[in-house]
Structure 1
Amino acid sequence: MAMEHPLWRTSTALGLGTLLWLGASACGGDDDGSGGSAGSGGGTGGDGGSGGSGGSVVAPHCAALVAGMNTAFLVDGTERAFILDLPTEVETAGPWPVVFNWHGLGDTAQNMSSLIAGLVNDPSFPFIGVTPEDAEHAIAGQSFDWDVFSVEAATNTEARLFDEIMICLDQRWGVAADHVHSVGFSLGGIATDMLGVTRGDQFASTASYSGAYFSNSANTATLGMLSSFVSWPAPTHGNSYAQMVMHGGTIDTFAMGPVTVHFDEYAVNDQAYLNGMGHAVVLCDHGGGHTAPAAGMMPVQVFEFFRGRPRGTASSPYAGGLPSDFSSSCTFYGGS
């Protein structure tokens, strides 16, 4: 795997005069992959991720899920698509860890899934990978991919997609409830952080490349007039999932008119914010700007982090030092 995956790079070709400062990868196209046929239908709610060993009753739309691209998966009346990367023994073993994987603005699930597909059979941490495709969430008539701006926990589009996929995965193959994770880059990192707020009771650990918590007032205070577009609830759960927070240093920025967004500042703000709520944080600065992944912060290291930190861990395995293959720029901060 190359040190810098070209499909995760940001593009300065994205125009100003829009909210694209939130953007990450504009690379890739609108190809949504070839994959298999999709599940249709979709549930009507639920918490998702109960974790178990599957079950004898599998809803038809859950039974229709296949490895590869799934389309026409109905969630609250909207058809959604996502890629499933499945371990070889998915039908005969389990329950399985689950990792959600969110792409940056303008990118595609097909591109993003290529970063995790080769890891699902890692004997030390086999897992089911879920890479959603965005539904072109619109603000003022323009698509911003994910519903991560004005957030209502019960009805948020991405949180509800998470709910319904988790229900199906548990019915079909069984979910290891202590190993549910999420990772994303830029706008996808913000989606991961948003799920930490709205569905954080279910996560063991998460990871974000150039993300941001917009429930953190230190972040929204930097947005100026753009803050009117952003409204998140405060976290209401008490689950102290761990998080790997990665950024590209002082050049990890995007200019939007009079506002320059500094993702490195968001990362530092969020380390303090998360620590204050009891979350352990690994904070990393790869220094490469608004791009990912980077040496020592590759998917291999992210999944090593996930493997070592199941939900409910009382004492972090990283309190005494990080693994030797992690970037030297990474520092562990224990939660309060």
Structure 2
Amino acid sequence: SGQQRQFILVVPSAPQPDEVFPVLFMWHWIGGSATSFLTKGDVQNAADQQRFIAVIPFAIGANVIGTSFNTKWPFDISQSSDRMQKEFRFFDDMLSCVNAQFAINRSCVSTIGVSAGALFTGQLAQARSEYLSSFVSLSGGVDATWIKPWNQAARKLPAVVLWGGDGPPQMDGVKDILGCAGIGMDFSVASKALEDELDDDGHFFIECKHNCGHVEPPLTPPAGESKYAGMWEFAMDHPYWLAAGASPYKTEGLPPTMPSWCAIGANAMPRTGGGCPAAENPCTN
């Protein structure tokens, strides 16, 4: 990508000689880091259980032009084509590096982002759909005010679109919004805009809608599973060779690792009630 970059590589414990691993890229939130994604996502435990390689990049920063607001990843309309391509090439380099050193399943390469990382994932999914088999957007989206739009992907990519709710009067809880450095982001609007684009273009997607606002998703996995097991399972259940718009979930239903507030298409019954994770200051740079 034109400069030295770093990432955390998570490999399943006790790999067997004949194992071939899916590869999941994980892009962190504004106030987070590669290390905090590793920890909060319980990624090593998940990789050991579900047998995948995780690639967790370190950000070099991306200031909104004309401000001091560092979004960590490039996704806003002020970012130049050169800056976007630089990050896309970093993805290419990481994938090539992992492919050169491990037996990977090239039919199962997914990208997962949280907040700012999800907003970038929405751009990466378009730019690198020829390499990706799916993507997962956790409080991300496209189009909302100053976020870059969806300009279509060359391939149909199965997706998870999750956000923290629309707030009253549509539902209880709070709306998934964030304001940093005087710049507001409405992930409710951006996520629904992403769903509209995916629907128009014939992509399969799952909608997940909780009611806790812009916080870590309130996931309660089945006993013995890691917290985000359902998100990682989605990636592994949707390989590259699936027909456009297809999913095993259409006939088999969602797996038990998926929250009850998820559904195929824009049909989720939103989460209700309390028990939300504590909010953090996501604007820390």
- Same fold, judged at TM 0.5 (above): yes
Which position in structure 2 is the counterpart of 1:145? 72
Using the alignment, how far apart are the partners of 1:91 and 1:207 within structure 2? 28
Which position in structure 2 is the counterpart of 1:317? 248
Change (3 A) 1:107 1:258: closer
- Is 2:151 aligned against 1:234? yes
Contact 2:123 2:150 in 1 (8 A): no
Using the alignment, how far apart are the partners of 2:71 and 2:182 within structure 1? 20
Q: What's the offset of the Cα at 1:83? A: 0.5
Deviations along 1:16-43, one digit per CA (max 9) or x if unpaired, are xxxxxxxxxxxxxxxxxxxxxxxxxxxx
Match of 1:161 among 80, 90, 97: 90
Contact 1:247 1:263 in 2 (8 A): yes
Counterpart of 1:101, as a letter, is M
Q: What's the offset of the Cα at 1:81? A: 1.4
Deviations along 1:146-197, one digit per CA (max 9) or x if unpaired, are 1222253896222111100111111111321110011111001112111101
Counterparts of 1:129-208 in structure 2, within 5 Å, are 129-139=54-64, 140=66, 142=68, 143-149=70-76, 150=79, 152=81, 156-208=85-137
Using the alignment, how far apart are the partners of 1:161 and 1:121 within structure 2? 26
Change (3 A) 1:281 1:153: farther
Counterpart of 2:151, as a letter, is A
Using the alignment, how far apart are the partners of 1:284 and 1:137 within structure 2? 28
Which position in structure 1 is the counterpart of 2:45? 118
Which position in structure 1 is the counterpart of 2:271? none
Change (3 A) 1:155 1:246: closer
Contact 2:125 2:153 in 1 (8 A): no
Deviations along 1:109-145, one digit per CA (max 9) or x if unpaired, are 11101211211122xx411101111102234463321
Change (3 A) 1:231 1:324: closer
Using the alignment, how far apart are the partners of 1:183 and 1:161 within structure 2? 15
Over the matched positions of the two proteins, sequence identity in percent amounts to: 24
Contact 2:118 2:136 in 1 (8 A): yes
Which position in structure 1 is the counterpart of 2:259? 327
- Out of 189-198 and 305-314, give the one that drifted further: 305-314
Contact 1:208 1:246 in 2 (8 A): yes
Q: Secondary structure at the match of 1:80?
A: coil
Runs of 4 or more above 6 Å deviation = 256-259
Counterpart of 1:273, as a letter, is E
Counterparts of 1:99-118 in structure 2, within 5 Å, are 99-114=24-39, 115=41, 116-118=43-45
Change (3 A) 1:104 1:203: same
Which position in structure 1 is the counterpart of 2:210? 286
Change (3 A) 1:151 1:257: closer
Match of 1:209 among 138, 148, 152: 138
Contact 2:74 2:84 in 1 (8 A): no
Counterpart of 1:306, as a letter, is A
Using the alignment, how far apart are the partners of 2:149 and 2:176 within structure 1? 23
Which position in structure 1 is the counterpart of 2:20? 95
Contact 1:99 1:180 in 2 (8 A): yes
Which position in structure 2 is the counterpart of 1:50? none
Q: Secondary structure at the match of 1:131?
A: strand
Match of 1:272 among 193, 196, 207: 196
Match of 2:229 among 300, 306, 318: 300
- Out of 258-267 and 108-117, give the one that drifted further: 258-267
Give RMSD over aligned pairs.
2.5
Contact 1:91 1:173 in 2 (8 A): no
Q: Secondary structure at the match of 1:326?
A: coil
Which structure 1 residue ranges, 5 or more long, are not aligned? 1-74, 214-218
Using the alignment, how far apart are the partners of 1:260 and 1:154 within structure 2? 22
Contact 2:110 2:235 in 1 (8 A): yes
